[in-house]
Structures are given as structure tokens and as C-alpha cells.
Structure 1
């Protein structure tokens, strides 16, 4: 079967194929996600264009939400979001009934949720931290995630079929407290894309375009700090959140008004639970700054 990419996506995909992050950057809004390997973006674009669901898998702060927002922007598609938690239920996904007044009379209205809104409008649905939801909750939308692209709304008995353009992007952080393994039936409904940390020149570009830090020397030092933290995470010396790119960008912003070491303390170090971990980060910051 031949799949025809929308013109707007095809044009962007051609730029991505040239493997030129600098040229591609102007196509996405400021602060958008430019991946460390362009194949990640190519594969996500192709999968969504073919009607596949995409699961972004990677450490916290690696840019999964930015990745999803960038894909939404590239396809020129609005994106409805679901933030998963143990409290997620059918109403959070599909909508809920409420009382309202019409011509002075009390009536029952149905307020659609993010899943039904995205399906009816033919836009993107983003499911964040999908493995935080209770195992019995997400199977409610199995029919939405497979070839049927259909669900029977239990609150209205309406059969909702997704319009053309509907797509699902989900994100997962594995191994965190409160998360549960995805069951095979759910996982098999996704194309999985591993999202690594952004490093080197791309991280430098991200800092200069999304934070207030303009001192090139400090930018270079923060890039080195990030590299050291990522290495420590891979070696098992620090938890993943210590190398969060989101936290690093916060530290860069703070360092424009307070000293870099204090900025690192507030944005990164003080989030860590163990004294050993905090001391490790402090030693790296002391060495660099």
C-alpha cells in the first residue's frame, strides 16, 4: 500500500533527510525539539504519516514532550493531552456529564475529553507518562489505538470514529516509583522510538535559543556539566533525574542572575534524595565553575 505524505510534512521530511539540524531548526518554532539523531525524527514522521501510534521512550528531561510538540507543529496539527496518574479514569479520557441550563431548563450536557476531542477533530492525542496509569484504565481505549480507530463512549453510547489526521503519541519513563510495566496488548499498538539525552553542539544550540544565558564561556561549561552528569547516570552513580535537560536549562536561566554553582544547587542538586548524590554533583560543579 502506498502512503502519501501531506505536502507540509513531505517538505519538512526532505529537510530532515539532509541531516542538517541548523537548516531544519528554522522550520520548527523556537524551543522545538531537534533530536541528536535525525533518524529519530524521520522515523516518527513516517510512522505518524502511516497512521501508526508512536511511543517515545527515554529518561526524564530528555525532551519527549518537546518532541511531541514539534511533531504536532510539523504536521500543523493541534494536540490534545492526557497526563496519566493513578487517578486517571474513563471520564479523564473520554469526558463527563454535567448539569447546565437551556432556555431556563436544567439539562444534562456531555463535556468531551481529550480522546474524543482529538478523534472528532482529526488531530493529535498526546498521552504523557502512559505507564503511570492503572493497568485497567488504558485498555478502555484499545480500540482507539488499533486499526479500528473507534470507541463506544460509555457515557453517551455514541460510537466515535476518528477523522483522518488523528494520531497518537505517548511518552514513557521506565523504572520510576508509581509506574507499572505496559501490558503486551498495549505496547504492541505502538512504534517505539528511544529518545536519548541531547548532548554537544545540539545542547549548546538549545541553551542559546531557549534560555537567557548568552555568555558563551558559561554555555560551554554547562554543556560539559551535562556530559559529566549523563556519564555518571550511565555508570550508575546518579539517578536519571540528575541529568535532566529540563533541569539543566533551568540552571542556565538562573545563572544569569545568581552564581552558576548556586543555580546548579537549586535546579539540580537539591532535587536529589541521597547526600552521596548531592555531593557528587557539587564536586562536578565545583570543578567546572
Structure 2
């Protein structure tokens, strides 16, 4: 990583936040499959680029965003996209309040984008391709060189603080998702976030799960590798390879038989009977 970024991160560490902002700073708990992933994300944000994290469910995209938030000491505001996402969920809304004298007034309650832009924080847009195509163009100006938006509720032109940064995440090909249009994609630097494998995965399971049997932990790493092979061949859905699910299985396996743990944490989450059987067939060859 370039020395200037190291120096910048050191400067950021010295910033003292309010208690509320401090609670919004993420945890530095992401384990990268390769050092390039974290380095490129940090470099892109340092240069003022928007970063799009692209990868399957459970590969650690949100963890990576939180990790960046921690390293940059930037409070993180999150937008969870869905078909119901609208301008109010992004920017904020007007509401009626009453003061101590009983007088009524309408105030604007800022949303995650407004807060992040105003305060120079990190904005995390999760599952950005779940939003309706007509919703996201609202923030095109936020994501390009203008770094500004006209608030439709107040008429105010909001220009982002210099420290404002944007990270988004995408799961491609999932039910309910829509392809990002070219205008939106061109506003991001894209970083692939694959599943962890091998020794890196072993170290993560060892450090974060309740399972202490290293031989059994290695078995779970092999199980993950075989499931990823079936995912690549289209015989299992992406969620079968989720690191979260694998950690759940390891935690359970500290107390119950491994096959039962795998059934509860991984196999039974799958809707197709053949997929559930495939996971258990792999598991039975190892445990």
C-alpha cells in the first residue's frame, strides 16, 4: 500500500468523534482472500472514487465496508436497497413536531445520504441492484464529480463534505435484482469479493468460531471448497457457500454432531431437495 495512504490513515485515527458518530464506525474484522482487495478498496476511496463490491451472498462485502470504515475512522451510514426504496428512505423526510409551547412546525429529518454528505462520512449502499431503476438516478449527482444533489423536500442544494465516500455492494443474478445501467456502473470502481478458501478461511474459522478442534475445522474448509466447486458448476446456489453459514455450522459443531450442524446451518436453508442432498453427500465424505 502506498506510503501516502498509510500516512493519511494515521491522520484519520487521530480524529475524535462524538459518541453517536463513534457508534457508527465499523469494526476492522474483514479477512481478505488476497491483500489486493483491501489495498485497492482503500486506494480507490483515498482517490475519491466510489467503490462497488461485487460478489456472492456471504462473501464478506458488508464486512469489507465496515473494515474500511474502521481504517478510515469514518462513521458509516447504510442504505439497504429494496423495491420499496424511495427518495425519503435515501434523503430524509418532513414531519410535524410540537414545541414546548404547543406550537406546531414542520422539520426535515435527514436520511442516510444527507447525513453522510453533510458530515463527510461513509455511505454504504447494500444490494444496490435491488432498488427500482427509477429510484437510483435520484443520486447520480451524488456519485459523480458534482458531489451534490437538490433535496426535493427542501429545495436545498446539498454539496458533499470533502471526506464523503461511497461504497456499494451488488449480488448479480439473484431474484429481485435488476442490471445496473451503464450510467450508474460508470460511476464506480468495481472490486470482486470472492469467498475465502484455504488457510485464510481456516484462520477465520479458528479465530471466530466456538469450535476448537483444528482437525474438524480443516474438514469444514474442505467442505467449503467442495461446495464452491458445485456452485461454480451451477449445482448449488451461492448461499450454500456463505461464510456466515459456515461459521454457524462450526459454532454448532462445537456442541452437536457435525452432520447435524451442517444440516441446520447450511443444508436446511436450501429450498431444493436435490441441493440439500448434495450438501449432505459432501459432508458425509468428510465427517
Q: 5 Å matches for 1:65-144?
A: 65-103=62-100, 104-144=102-142
Aligned position for 1:173: 171
Question: 1:68 touches 1:169 (CA, 8 Å); kept in 2?
Answer: yes
**Per-residue deviation, 1:110:** 1.0
- Matches of 1:89 and 1:282, distance apart in 2: 42
- Matches of 1:69 and 1:63, distance apart in 2: 10
- Matches of 1:220 and 1:190, distance apart in 2: 37
TM-score by length of 2: 0.91
- Matches of 1:178 and 1:37, distance apart in 2: 30
Task: Describe the superposition over 1:11-56 as per-residue Cα deviations: whole angstroms up to 9, x where unpaired.
Answer: 99xxxxxxxxxxxxxxx956x1121111111111110001000000
**Aligned with 1:214 (options 195, 212, 221):** 212
Aligned position for 2:245: 247
**Aligned with 2:187 (options 177, 189, 193):** 189
Alignment gaps of 5+ in structure 1:
13-27
Alignment gaps of 5+ in structure 2:
13-25
SS at match of 1:206: helix
- Matches of 2:222 and 2:78, distance apart in 1: 34
Task: Describe the superposition over 1:157-207 as per-residue Cα deviations: whole angstroms up to 9, x where unpaired.
Answer: 111111121100000000000000000000000000011110111111111
Task: Describe the superposition over 1:103-139 as per-residue Cα deviations: whole angstroms up to 9, x where unpaired.
Answer: 3211111110000000011010000000000000011
Aligned position for 1:265: 263
Aligned position for 2:17: none
Superposed CA RMSD in Å reads 1.8
Dislocated runs of 4+, deviation >3 Å: 3-6
- Matches of 1:258 and 1:4, distance apart in 2: 49
Matched residues, number: 271
Question: 1:88 touches 1:137 (CA, 8 Å); kept in 2?
Answer: yes
Aligned position for 2:23: none
